[in-house]
Each structure stands twice: as C-alpha cells, then as structure tokens.
Structure 1
Amino acid sequence: MTPLPLRHKIALVTGAGGTMGRAVVAALIEDGCRVALVDVNEASLAPLVATYGGAVLAVPCDISDIHAVRAAHALVEQRLGGIDILVNNAGILSNNKIEATSDTEWRRVLGANLDGAMYWAQAVVPGMKSRRFGRIINTSSLAAKTGGLTAGTAYSVSKGAMSALTFSLARELAPFGVTANGVAPAYVKTPMITEQLTEAQRQELLKQIPVGRFCEPEEFAHAVRFLASPLAGFITGEILDLNGGLLMD
C-alpha cells in the first residue's frame, strides 16, 4: 500500500468531537484525507481544528435534523468537494430498559443514532455513485446482537437498525463502486464506559471479556481506516466485530 492510501480523498466523520471520532479523524488524516468534522457540540471541534488546521473543516450540525444535514452537506461540498468517505459515528447511549424508556428518550436516541446516518447517506450517495467510488462506514454495536448487556432498549434497537441500514446500502450501492460496512465495537474507552457505567459494572464486564480489557479508541479507528482503504473494495455488507472475544459468531 502507498504511504498515503487515501490521498486527495474527502472524508466526513459524524461525532467527530468525541473520543472515537477524534481517533478516526487522526487516522484518516494520517492516510491523506481532508476531513469534515461534524458534531452537535461546536466547542468539541475546536481542538481538532487547532491541531490539524487546513486538513479539517468544522461543521456544527444536529444530524437528527434533515434540514441541518442538507445545509451542512452543501457547505462541505462547497468548501472541500465531494465526499468520498462517510463515517457515521455519532451516537448517544441510553441504559434504560423498555419500561423506563420514555417516548422522548426513544425519539432522541433513534434520531441521533439512526436517522442522522440515513440522512447523511442519502446526501452523499449520489456523488459517490457518479464518481464510482465511495466508502460508507457505520458504527453499530455489540448491543445489536445481544439485545444490550448493559445498554438499554432504544440504544440496542438503534444499533440493530444501523446494521440493517448497512446491509441495505451495501446491496444497493455495490454496482457503483460504493461499499457499505459497519464496525460493531463493545466497550470502547469513552465516557460511555468511564462515566455512564458504575465501577461495579465495569469490573463485571472485564470478567466477561476474554482479552481482559476494554477497547482502545485507536483500535476502533484502525478498523475504520481499513474499511475506508482502496484495498477493502471487495468487502461490503459486513459488520466487523470489535469486542475482545465477548461474542464469537
């Protein structure tokens, strides 16, 4: 592989200001991309802009709002050009099970975790098809297969639907040189683990993970950069498990 396998490619990463998003941005820039940074929290993008300068474009956006996505997409195309790589990484966790899940929470989680991915895919697909190249990489979760060991109903359902969206896109877009794949991590070292789980929950989980540790953000980013690479063009419709052996299938 060439030293910069994604040189001149334009990538867009949602949830770019979060722990996993920052790791993905770093990996894609290292491979030669210019990256549009999408996050609802504008302040979280400032350190990335300070670090990477002209290699990135900060695009504050509520991805659950289709009109905001369309406006953000137009801005990115105007400033950077057509988007070659879409990483649908934004997401929010809910640990509430079915009886404790309110309608408001259901809509909030599905809006952030699923609707935004669909809106962004809808926006970038025409350009990818016309250029006969594209990579769509969706962040699913172990919860999609287990029903949620610690995650709640809305989160688990949203990630199951994210996997289904990946399959649908892969089937439709394969003839156009566009691949769609997912990464299903479990327990990456993010605030979802360090702040939203108790110490007792963390210790219990570590007992169940065969490798005996949580996933590093850079390991997740490495999986994304692999699926984005030119040499991954024969892989589509796959969900890459990244769970330390917690679930083997």
Structure 2
Amino acid sequence: MTSILVTGSSRGIGAATRTLLAERGAGVIGHATSASDGTTVAADFASPAAPQMLWEEALDRAGGAIDVLVNNAGLFDANPLDSSDIEWLDKWEETLRINLTAAAQLSRFAVRHWLERGVTGRIVHVASRAAYRGDSPAHWHYAAAKGGMVAMHKSIARAYAAQGILSFAVAPGFTDTAMAGDYLASRGGEELLRDIPLGRVAQPEEIARIIAFCALDAPESMTGAVIDANGASYVR
C-alpha cells in the first residue's frame, strides 16, 4: 500500500485529495492545524517546529515509511498596502512560513528519508496561478510564496531525478473553496469570473484528480512539470 502524507487535508482541495487517494487504495495520513484524530495529525505551521513534529508523527503512523508527500497546506490572507509596518511584515512572514517554509521543511525530510533508505519517492506541490501571473495588490506575499514553491519544486526535480525522487507541481487558478470564495466576493464575484474563459472556477475534486495522478500515475519523465488548472485564465 502506498503511504501518503497530505497537508491541509481538512477542507477544500486537501479534503478532496485525501478522499480520492483513499478510494485509490492508498494509506493516507492527513494534517490539520488543530484537529487531530486517528488519521489526522494536528500541526500549526505558524510554529517552526510543527513540520518536523508532523513528519515524525506521520512516519510513526505509517510504520516507518512514507512514499508520497503532498504539500497542500496554505494561507490566503489579505495584506493591504496601507497596513501598519509591523502588521504588514507579520502577515508577510506568516504567509511565507506557512505556504513555503513549512513545505520546504517537509520536502527536506521526505528527500532525506528516501535517500537514506535508497528508495524512490514523490512530492506533489500545490502551488497557484499566482506564481506566474501574480495576484492582487493585497497579496504580494501569497504570490511570492507560490513562486518560491515552484522554484523549489524545480530544484528538487533536477537534483534528485537520478535517485528516483520525483517532484510535480499543480498550479490551480480559483477553486471553489471557502478561501477562494471569500476572495471572489471581495473582488466582485461575477465580474472576476469574466476573466476565466471556462466561465467558472475549478471544483476541488478536479484539482484532486490532478494531484492523485501526479502522486500515483504520472510517468517518471514528467518530473519537474507544473500542471496548470485555471480555466485558461492564464496560459503560459
């Protein structure tokens, strides 16, 4: 059985991914910021120690071997330009820690785990259209974090392909989650949808299908790829 750690699995894309992977027969260990149960580990990525704690607990629950890491956890919180200096900086650093640094820590633990055991492994990074197109004036930090995630993903793919350690990234546009819903409402809702040729935002299950493909089915030669899923709102 393939053992998979999925971060941010309590809702939205992460929850849909967790469900689909379990249906495919994988052993899935979930993650949430606070809630913990028999299949979910609680870890608040605002704390620098949390990713290591999550990795070690997940490894223990998986019987000492994790085959796939899905870096999905994220924070999407507006940071207006006219905030106070300390508020602006705090939100910037929090967003980078949760969206990028925690994913980097977990990726490091995963790569070391596979190298030490001499086995193959896969990482799937859930990035964003914002990594390429940028985002709103209140979301510099979010776009920067996702751009950093894509650069990290490409570096991992290039560095460890020869050892059978593969890295994939998915770059969704707007997805029908609570997080994106709040943003759509704040940016005009239907007005913003006109920028999406498909005429609608993605469903979490659509993105989950791409993640599951990368985690279980994608051929080795696809390592390093970034898969766009944005309804043609940004075509590279």
TM-score surpassing 0.5?
Answer: yes
Contact 2:79 2:92 in 1 (8 A): no
User: Once the 2 structures are TM-superposed, how far is the Cα of residue 85 of structure 1 from its aligned partner?
Assistant: 0.8
| Letter of the structure 2 residue corresponding to residue 212 of structure 1 | G
Q: Aligned runs of 1:28-47 on 2, under 5 Å?
A: 28-42=21-35
User: Once the 2 structures are TM-superposed, how far is the Cα of residue 72 of structure 1 from its aligned partner?
Assistant: 2.2
Contact 2:81 2:137 in 1 (8 A): no
| Letter of the structure 1 residue corresponding to residue 179 of structure 2 | M
- Number of matched pairs: 231
1:72 maps to what in 2?
Answer: 54
Contact 2:80 2:88 in 1 (8 A): no
Contact 1:143 1:151 in 2 (8 A): no
2:102 maps to what in 1?
Answer: 116
Contact 2:79 2:91 in 1 (8 A): no
Match of 1:63 among 40, 45, 48: 45
The list of structure 1 runs, each at least 4 consecutive aligned residues, that deviate by more than 3 angstroms after superposition, is 97-101
1:52 maps to what in 2?
Answer: none
User: Once the 2 structures are TM-superposed, how far is the Cα of residue 199 of structure 1 from its aligned partner?
Assistant: 6.3
- Provide TM-score, normalisation by structure 2: 0.91
2:133 maps to what in 1?
Answer: 146
157 and 99 in structure 1: CA distance in 2 versus 1, 3 angstrom threshold: farther
User: Once the 2 structures are TM-superposed, how far is the Cα of residue 205 of structure 1 from its aligned partner?
Assistant: 1.8
Query: For the residues of structure 2 that align with 1:26 and 1:221, how far apart are their CA atoms?
Result: 9
- Provide TM-score, normalisation by structure 1: 0.86
Contact 1:98 1:152 in 2 (8 A): no
Structure 1: which 5+ residue stretches go unaligned? Answer: 1-7, 50-56
195 and 106 in structure 1: CA distance in 2 versus 1, 3 angstrom threshold: same
Cα root mean square deviation, aligned: 1.9
Query: For the residues of structure 2 that align with 1:137 and 1:214, how far apart are their CA atoms?
Result: 21
Amino-acid identity (%): 31
- The alignment status of 1:225 with 2:212, answered yes or no, reads yes
Contact 2:80 2:137 in 1 (8 A): no
For residues 73-131 of structure 1, what are the alpha-carbon distances to aligned partners after superposition, in whole Å with 9 as ceiling and x for unaligned?
22222221311110000001133355547111011101110011011111111222334
2:190 maps to what in 1?
Answer: 203
Match of 2:79 among 77, 89, 96: 96
Bigger mean CA offset, 201-210 vs 228-237 = 228-237
Q: Secondary structure at the match of 1:241?
A: strand
163 and 90 in structure 1: CA distance in 2 versus 1, 3 angstrom threshold: same
153 and 133 in structure 1: CA distance in 2 versus 1, 3 angstrom threshold: same
2:17 maps to what in 1?
Answer: 24
User: Once the 2 structures are TM-superposed, how far is the Cα of residue 191 of structure 1 from its aligned partner?
Assistant: 1.0
Contact 1:193 1:202 in 2 (8 A): no
Q: Secondary structure at the match of 2:189?
A: helix
| Letter of the structure 1 residue corresponding to residue 88 of structure 2 | S
